A and B are shown apart, each in its own frame.
Chain A
């Protein structure tokens, strides 16, 4: 999911970098007004946990492998704005220190994983939550990462290195991550359920929503 430099045309990279900067600065402004200082340690731990979890490549027999991206997970736990900043931090460190994802395309990678996966995942979580939080977290992780993969496929398919084969890139990225996303959904839902049971006070909605259970 991390696009290296050279894959995406410079104009595409610039457009998505500008979009990312715009969304993240909006997120930072929203967060500055709404987040209590006490959530700073949680932001740090969730970001570090996502970094560590992304290093775990789940091997799938047949020659493929996927790792947890965590955008939807961050959105559910931290709220979408702080979640976006959280995953953007991870993606930036991965590119700068580990060369995982390019520098020119950093904005595009942030857009796919820290913005699309986070906000789409959060929207799906909110939509499905009335039918059960476990289900909602699963759907958020699953469809959030698929949405991020589709925007990555869009960026690649509009680029010369991929010979503008938009249908090919969209279908390989979309279908591939629709399948691999089941793992993302499962991890998102299981870790969320564990945290919700162990530390119900960490849930962003804990102060504002009354649980029936």
Chain B
């Protein structure tokens, strides 16, 4: 228990480093042309036009309205990483403290 902050600080530093890398990788992937097997399959079968965007997504495609591509990717990475951390921590606490029903 006493060493928890110790590894958490290191872990948070790694998370921050990953979010800083996100715009770099985004640029590099864009430079070679981003396509996953899923997209190739959609193109080959003519399914591409069937795709629908998620209308409630606030940061659709990991971008922020009014911000450039790199800045938007970075903000998305920070928001998403922090949100995931908080939600997963909450789930962990809920499960950890739940009374053993069975």
Interface residues of A (CB under 8 A from B): 1-7, 28-29, 31-33, 35-53, 55-66, 82, 85-86, 89-90, 93-100, 102-103, 149, 152-153, 156, 159, 161-163, 165, 168-169, 172-173, 175-177, 180, 199, 202
- Residues of B within 8 Å of A29, CB to CB, are 101-102
**Size of B's binding interface in residues, CB under 8 A:** 67
Q: Are B52 and A102 in contact, with the CB atoms below 8 A?
A: yes
Taking each of B14, B80, B97, which has the highest tally of chain A beta carbons within 10 Å of its own beta carbon?
B80
- Residues of B within 8 Å of A48, CB to CB, are 15, 81-82, 84-85, 88
- Residues of A within 8 Å of B51, CB to CB, are 4-7
For the residues of A in contact with B, the DSSP-based class is: helix
Total A-B pairs in contact (CB under 8 Å)?
223
A65-B32 contact given A29-B102, A48-B88, A172-B40, CB 8 Å threshold: yes
A51-B81 contact given A4-B53, A33-B100, A65-B36, CB 8 Å threshold: yes
Chain B, residue nearest A170 (CB) = B41
A63-B83 contact given A57-B29, A85-B91, CB 8 Å threshold: no
- Residues of A within 8 Å of B47, CB to CB, are 7, 156, 159, 161-163
